Amino acid sequence: MLELNRVTAGYDRRDPVVRDVSLAVAPGESVGLLGPSGCGKSTLARVAALLHRPDAGSVVLAGAPVKGWRYRAPQEQRTAVGVVFQQPRLSADPRLSLRELIAQPLRSTGRRHEVAVRVAELAREVGLTGELLDRRPHAVSDGQLQRACLARALVLRPGLLICDEMTAMLDASTTAALVSVVEAYRAESGAALLAVGHDRVLLERWCDRTVRWEELDGTREPAEAVGARG
């Protein structure tokens, strides 16, 4: 579903954060990427979500090489990937109600009834009640806002979901609830998952396999890097 081939990326070409990293997620597979704070996991997650152009290497999504990058990849390709970040307040437009937030990726479809039905269905799945849906981000908890962000990530029925420390700010019961929403969606849709984080116990329980950041580092011995890709 996703192939990152020898990706180098960062914020300064002379000193990239991600160097020569390769990682593949098969269709329907869930992969947990584990690494310490600051190693570059979120940067790689943003490349995988087609939101950050790599300086070198390639990204292949559902068998098609991603082309036409500006800072991000073209929107048609981006809509095949759903993404949830660690801090919902940084990714959610504060002017929108949770209902509008969830519906945001559907705004170009114009079919208002369908949009309302889909938003209501997802809100129910993530556990948001009617009254909460009319509130704006400042009037809900982090957990409630993250539920809305997860619903938004699923609204276009992506074939690949990327969860970048999705539950890092949440308590155990909200974490369990959001993981089970992701798993229910994957069971029904066959979507693949890349979950990024530093909670080894959570990712090992959640994912088919986990990969440690050190294993991906293409600047290490070639034998180690090949092993990580297999």
Ligand X SMILES: Nc1ncnc2c1ncn2[C@@H]1O[C@H](COP(=O)(O)OP(=O)(O)OP(=O)(O)O)[C@@H](O)[C@H]1O
The contact set with ligand X (CB under 6 A) reads 11, 17, 35, 37-43, 198
In the bound state with ligand X, the residue whose beta carbon lies nearer, of 37 and 108, is 37
- When the beta carbons of 40 and 88 are compared against ligand X, the nearer one is 40
The answer to whether 215 touches 227, Cβ cutoff 8 Å, is yes
Tell me how far, at minimum, the Cβ of 35 lies from ligand X, in Å.
5
Q: Which is nearer to ligand X, 39 or 148 (CB)?
A: 39
Shortest gap between Cβ of 166 and ligand X (angstroms)? 12
Name the minimum Å distance from CB 207 to ligand X.
Answer: 17
Cα–Cα distance for residue pair 44/140, rounded to 1 Å: 30
Q: How far is the CB of 176 from ligand X (least distance, A)?
A: 21
Q: Which residue is nearest to ligand X (CB)?
A: 42
The tokens describing 217, both together, are 């580092």
Q: Which residues pair with 30 in a beta bridge?
A: 193
| Rounded least distance, CB 21 to ligand X, Å | 12
Contact at 8 Å (CB) between 98 and 155? no
Pick the closer one to ligand X by CB: 185 or 206: 206
Minimal distance in Å, beta carbon 40 to ligand X? 4
Cα–Cα distance, 176 to 143 (Å, whole number): 12
Q: Helix and strand tally (H, E) in the chain?
A: 11, 9
Annotate 95-152 with three-state secondary structure. CCCHHHHHHHHHCCCCCHHHHHHHHHHHHHHHCCCHHHHCCCHHHCCHHHHHHHHHHH
- Residue 11 vs 204, nearer CB to ligand X: 11
Q: Which is nearer to ligand X, 17 or 56 (CB)?
A: 17
Place of tokens 């009037």: 139
